[in-house]
Amino acid sequence: MRPVLLADMIAAARFLAAIPASRRATETNALFCRAQIADKVMKRLRRPHVCWGNGSLMAATAGLQKRPESFASDPDFIDALLHILTFQNERLLRHMQKKSRRKAWTFAAKRYRMAHSQRNEARHGADKTTGGKC
d(CA 28, CA 82): 11
pLDDT tens digits along 90-113: 999 988 888 777 766 676 667 777
| Position 9 confidence tier, pLDDT thresholds 50, 70, 90 | very high
pLDDT at 130: 47
Span of 35-39, 64-68, 81-85 with lowest mean pLDDT: 64-68
Amino acid at 94: R
Select from 16, 54, 62 the least CA-distant residue to 38: 54
pLDDT of residue 15: 95
Give the pLDDT score at 120. 67
Q: One-letter amino acid identity for 55?
A: G
SS3 49: strand
Confidence tier at 117 by pLDDT (50, 70, 90): confident
